[in-house]
């Protein structure tokens, strides 16, 4: 459906019903308590990009307590930012938050800009986040279309193309912009997303209590289960990664990933992807030599963990290893440290490594050498 074909009365009714419903039904979420603070809105929106609301709340509160404003975030150590983000995943979000905060301090004297154009020029802020900050915190007439809003729009207006297609995206954003009620864009955007999150769920939408039920084409045509159209799922590649828990006496070797790598800035047990035809044990020894320039003795496979990232899956094989010779050098990593197991919790690790740390720090789980 082309946006221009939606009558003004229909657009007005859409907004009136949606906003009335939102006023009565919105969830009490911490970032809504001070929605005029763009810093809070920004942190919440970045967290919510790939994290469920329930999971995001404690992260949001901890992050705000640790870095209460742009300047505090800009001047923090990256290690501390990543530690505060540890477990939330998609760590590029945390690195970009800090880079953007530094840019805001440098270019805007610490004041978050208010226009979509200025916001989009900052690291990690795309069209959606810019629209959300501009409309919610600065009351700009900007649309913000996340996955929840897309689902509602696809259903109400019976948009049958996959929403991730570029042409469908254009249509959805134009549609959202055409529906914005003057002066209430922030509330409208939040209401649309809230409806998608709580009523117009991916499976079994609660059409009986939906404020848009009368206008909804999917409901009228019985297409709720078919819309939005699904994009064909790709089979994710799977890799075997071998890592070494390398002991030297009572201490363990950890390495920090380079900033330009996936999970950049996080600490990990050294290792990497197994090459074709290589044994896992040989892989650990080679990776450690390449990454840190030391020789190790590779012992038993001590733990195996599976982990899924957005674009691939891994099986992580952790080997019990012993340092043999050489002083570590940061050849393929950003830094390295020898630490005792109790110190591991001071560093930010990816999820798969954290499971190993939990095992390592369990009483009697692992004898030190």
**Contacts to ligand SF4 by CB under 6 A:** 152, 155-156, 199-200, 205-207, 210, 212-213, 216, 218-219, 224
Q: Taking the complex as a whole, how short is the minimal distance between the CB of residue 73 and ligand SF4, in angstroms?
A: 37
Q: Taking the complex as a whole, how short is the minimal distance between the CB of residue 168 and ligand SF4, in angstroms?
A: 17
Catalytic residue among 23, 45, 287, 295: 45
Burial of 277 (0-12, 13-18, 19+ CB in 10 A): exposed
Q: Which is nearer to ligand SF4, 206 or 324 (CB)?
A: 206
Helix (H, G, I), strand (E, B) or coil at 309: coil
Strand ranges in 199-289 using DSSP code E only, listed in sequence order: 238-248, 251-256, 267-268, 271-273
Q: Which is nearer to ligand SF4, 211 or 265 (CB)?
A: 211
Nearest-CA neighbor of 90 among 82, 80, 98?
Answer: 82
Nearest-CA neighbor of 201 among 151, 236, 153?
Answer: 151
- Greatest Cα pair distance in the chain: 77
**N- to C-terminal Cα separation, the chain:** 69
Q: Which is nearer to ligand SF4, 206 or 236 (CB)?
A: 206
Tell me the two tokens of residue 241: 């990664």
Query: Up-side HSE of residue 347: CA atoms within 13 Å toward CB?
Result: 25
Q: Taking the complex as a whole, how short is the minimal distance between the CB of residue 274 and ligand SF4, in angstroms?
A: 46
152 C-beta neighbours (distance < 10 Å), count? 27
Identify whether the C-beta of residue 188 lies closer than 8 Å to the C-beta of residue 180. yes
Q: Taking the complex as a whole, how short is the minimal distance between the CB of residue 151 and ligand SF4, in angstroms?
A: 7
Instruction: Verify whether residue 45 is a known catalytic residue.
Output: yes
Q: 211-248 as b/e, with b when 16 or more CB fall inside 10 Å? A: bbbebbebbeeebbeebbeeeeeeeeeeeebbbbbbbb
Strand partners, 268: 255
Strand ranges in the chain using DSSP code E only, listed in sequence order: 238-248, 251-256, 267-268, 271-273, 295-308, 313-325, 335-339
Q: Taking the complex as a whole, how short is the minimal distance between the CB of residue 146 and ligand SF4, in angstroms?
A: 15
Q: Taking the complex as a whole, how short is the minimal distance between the CB of residue 198 and ligand SF4, in angstroms?
A: 10
What distance in Å separates the CA atoms of residue 32 and residue 275, rounded to the nearest whole number? 49
Q: Which is nearer to ligand SF4, 48 or 152 (CB)?
A: 152
Q: Taking the complex as a whole, how short is the minimal distance between the CB of residue 143 and ligand SF4, in angstroms?
A: 17
Antiparallel, parallel or unpaired: β 238-248 and 313-325: parallel
Q: Which is nearer to ligand SF4, 119 or 176 (CB)?
A: 176
Q: Which is nearer to ligand SF4, 219 or 274 (CB)?
A: 219
Strand partners, 297: 322
Q: Which is nearer to ligand SF4, 29 or 207 (CB)?
A: 207
Tell me the two tokens of residue 17: 């019903």
Which residues are designated catalytic?
A: 45
């Amino acid at each position: 459906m082309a946006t221009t074909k939606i009558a003004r009365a229909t657009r007005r009714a859409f907004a009136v019903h949606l906003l009335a419903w939102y006023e009565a039904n919105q969830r009490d979420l911490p970032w809504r308590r001070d929605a005029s603070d763009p810093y809070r809105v920004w942190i919440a929106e970045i967290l919510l990009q790939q994290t469920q609301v329930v999971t995001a709340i404690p992260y949001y509160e901890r992050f705000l307590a640790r870095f209460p404003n742009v300047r505090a975030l800009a001047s923090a150590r990256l290690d501390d930012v990543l530690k505060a983000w540890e477990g939330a995943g998609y760590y590029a979000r945390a690195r970009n938050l800090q880079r953007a905060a530094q840019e805001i301090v440098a270019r805007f004297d610490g004041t978050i800009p208010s226009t979509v154009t200025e916001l989009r020029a900052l690291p990690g802020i795309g069209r959606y986040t810019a629209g959300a900050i501009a409309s919610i915190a600065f009351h700009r007439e900007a649309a913000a279309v996340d996955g929840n809003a897309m689902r509602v729009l696809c259903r109400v207006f019976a948009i049958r193309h996959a929403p991730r297609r570029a042409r469908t995206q254009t249509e959805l954003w134009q549609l959202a912009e055409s529906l914005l009620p003057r002066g209430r864009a922030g509330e409208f955007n939040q209401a649309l997303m809230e409806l998608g999150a709580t009523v117009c769920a991916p499976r079994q939408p609660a059409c009986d209590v939906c404020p848009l039920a009368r206008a909804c084409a999917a409901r009228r045509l019985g297409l709720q289960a078919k819309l939005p159209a699904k994009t064909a799922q790709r089979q994710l590649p799977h890799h075997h990664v071998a890592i070494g828990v390398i002991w030297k006496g009572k201490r363990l070797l950890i390495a920090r990933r380079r900033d330009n790598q996936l999970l950049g800035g996080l600490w990990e047990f050294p290792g990497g992807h197994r090459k074709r035809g290589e044994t896992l044990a040989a892989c650990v020894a080679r990776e450690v030599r390449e990454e840190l320039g030391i020789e190790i003795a590779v012992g038993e496979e001590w733990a195996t963990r599976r982990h899924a990232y957005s674009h691939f899956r891994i099986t992580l094989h952790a080997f019990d290893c012993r340092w043999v010779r050489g002083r570590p050098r940061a050849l393929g990593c950003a830094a390295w440290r020898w630490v005792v197991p109790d110190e591991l919790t001071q560093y930010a690790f990816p999820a798969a490594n954290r499971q190993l740390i939990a095992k390592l720090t369990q009483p009697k789980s692992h004898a030190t050498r």
